[in-house]
A = this chain, B = another copy of it.
């Protein structure tokens, strides 16, 4: 028995879609497949902003990995990766190590703090189930404390979202819907609560169509969201932030800063001997590391160039899952023989949620959609991601059908 050993690191969109495809295409005797993940569950990272806002329970956005894999074909190891050693063809884990013939790196993102003082210590990031439910509880705790203090502390009701990009805007949309519920729960006037987006660019959602941006801002402002554009976060403290806008500095008292402005690839990629570009691996057309052709990289750790605009594609679930399909195909070709494919990104459009029943985006070659239509499409996209990972069963179990 000389089966090649395939090791997949990470059960996010990239890693898990790869596994789902491999276990369909490979027989029990074709390869020895191992999936490594820190938690015993996969989570829909694009849904975490809802868990963080408290509008969707986090259990709705996670699935036990053993419910998704075919344990006759895939060995699941719950452990934390501590180092990738491509020259030795092995991976170090907290509690052991693994050798491989083929490696798939799908270790996802972590927050990029751009050296802003105090950000790492005092801001929250929406990066995991643990962090998302902590944000939910932290915010609720501020509301619970507010009426218990002899001097009302406005910093408890000032909520700052750092970054008006995709994650920041989706989170603000949910939070804007959650705030009236919190106000009712803790007997607080809605007018006392401030929800402020701080964005360094002159616009939210840079790169989106101006009509869509205007729609999003109107929708959020109607629910009380304030925007500080062209505003740089200079410092984050436990009880406030400093913002610089038009050359003037302003302090805003707050106990809650959620940083949604920057992500980078998992630091293990940069620390490995895989050639990196901006902390990611700029992959070959077959999605392999240029320096190590037995290593595939998918998702947020992979850098793929968009030649049309001469910039890298942004890290999204959509591209991660498309990469995983090609990665799995190529692994099967290497194991059983066949042609290797080249990756080409097919843009199926992007929809940005603005809360439970509102959204905006573009689909099929640039058609703009808004409001209920966009919100419906967003749920279709979310359910499609579930389908790719766990089939119809998972869609029925965790899917979003609150479409009316």
Q: Does A134 contact B (CB under 8 A)?
A: yes
Q: Mark A175-199, 1 if CB is under 8 A from B, else 0.
A: 0000000000111000000000000
Q: Does A218 contact B (CB under 8 A)?
A: no
Interface segment among A143-151, A292-300, A316-324: the answer is A143-151
The one of B130, B134, B148 in contact with A130, judged by C-beta atoms closer than 8 angstroms, is: B148
Residues of B within 8 A of A134 (CB): 144-145, 148
Residues of B within 8 A of A143 (CB): 137
Residues of B within 8 A of A140 (CB): 137, 140-141
Residues of B within 8 A of A187 (CB): 130
Question: Is A137 a contact partner of B148 (Cβ separation < 8 A)?
Answer: no
Identify the closest chain B residue to A128 (Cβ).
Answer: B148
Residues of B within 8 A of A145 (CB): 134, 137
Q: Does A138 contact B (CB under 8 A)?
A: yes
Q: Mark A108-139, 1 if CB is under 8 A from B, else 0.
A: 00000000000000000000001101101110
Question: Is A137 a contact partner of B130 (Cβ separation < 8 A)?
Answer: no
List residues of A (145-181) whose CB comes within 8 Å of B's CBs: 145, 147-148
Residues of B within 8 A of A148 (CB): 130-131, 134
Question: Is A137 a contact partner of B131 (Cβ separation < 8 A)?
Answer: no
Complex CA gap A132/B136 in Å reads 19
Q: How far is the CB of A358 from chain B (nearest CB, A)?
A: 28
Residues of B within 8 A of A186 (CB): 133
Complex CA gap A138/B141 in Å reads 6
Give the B-binding residues of A (Cβ under 8 A).
130-131, 133-134, 136-138, 140-141, 143-145, 147-148, 185-187
Complex A-B: 9 CB contacts under 8 Å = A130-B148, A130-B187, A131-B148, A134-B145, A137-B140, A137-B145, A138-B141, A138-B144, A140-B140
